[in-house]
Amino acid sequence: MTVHRRHLPGVPPWLAASLNFCSRCGQPLSFGPLEAETRDRLVCDTCGFIQYVNPRLVVSTLPVTDSGDLVLIRRGIEPGYGAWAQPGGFLEIDETAQEGAVRETLEETGLIVEPTDIVGVYSRPQAAVVVIAWEARVVGGEARATPESLEVRAWAPDRIPWPHIAFQTSAWAVHDWLLQRHPHVAATRAGEPLKWPEESA
């Protein structure tokens, strides 16, 4: 049976396409007003389950070497294959946000990091993500390519590969880090990164 999903306000079309059936009983979902709710919701008319649609939490770090260079990965997976970003990924249910950021960094770079200050929190409703970026000290490990990264490289603050940054949230985070740690570089940065697909983080 094919269910044609109506437009869901505020929900990216790629995500709305997967919101057809109740995750509790498997029956079709409907969309509309509900008593005691302040906005229209997806609900199962069979069992009454309300399907809330929430963004995914991405935890990431901006690893900084002893010399003050910023470690980025050249992504080995989609989205953003071949472009540069900070290491990070989706938070798992059994870890704190900082633990998830440390794990993702180790998985993608081979480096052990210690998160220090939060650089920023970034929302991209088009991609259904909220990204937290910590500045982090590199405290161990060895930089290496991984199944998720083609290359791991430390960049001097004035050599960031802006035209090849993978995500809007990465550009925001790196720019905010520069504003905090190297404002003279941020002030003189020429040009803007490339445009990103609407659904890109």
Q: How does pLDDT run across 8-24, given as a tens digit for each residue?
A: 888 888 899 899 999 99
Please tell me the distance from the alpha carbon of residue 82 to that of residue 33, in angstroms, as a whole number: 44
Least confident of 1-5, 106-110, 118-122, 166-170: 1-5
My answer on whether 44 and 77 are in the same domain is no
**Cα separations (Å) of 128 from 17, 39, 53, 98?**
13, 18, 9, 20
Is the pLDDT reported for residue 184 higher than 60?
yes
For the chain, percent of residues with pLDDT exceeding 70: 92
Q: For residue 201, what pLDDT is reported? A: 77
Q: Which residue has the higher pLDDT, 192 or 183?
A: 183
The separation between the first and the last C-alpha atoms of the chain, rounded to the nearest angstrom, is 32
Residue 8 lies in a domain: no
Residue 201 lies in a domain: no
pLDDT category of residue 200 using cuts at 50, 70 and 90: confident
Domain residues for 83? 56-183
My answer on whether 47 and 60 are in the same domain is no
My answer on whether 42 and 140 are in the same domain is no
- The number of domains in the chain is 2
My answer on whether 113 and 35 are in the same domain is no
Q: Which CATH number does the domain housing residue 35 bear? A: 2.20.70
My answer on whether 45 and 83 are in the same domain is no
- Report residue 167 as tokens: 């995500």
Q: Which residues contact 124 (CB under 8 A, 6 or more apart)?
A: 131, 168, 169, 200, 201
Mind listing the pLDDT tens digit for each residue in 113-170?
A: 999 999 999 999 989 999 999 999 999 999 999 999 999 999 999 999 999 999 999 9
Residue 192 lies in a domain: no
Residue 189 lies in a domain: no
Q: Which CATH number does the domain housing residue 97 bear? A: 3.90.79.10
My answer on whether 86 and 156 are in the same domain is yes
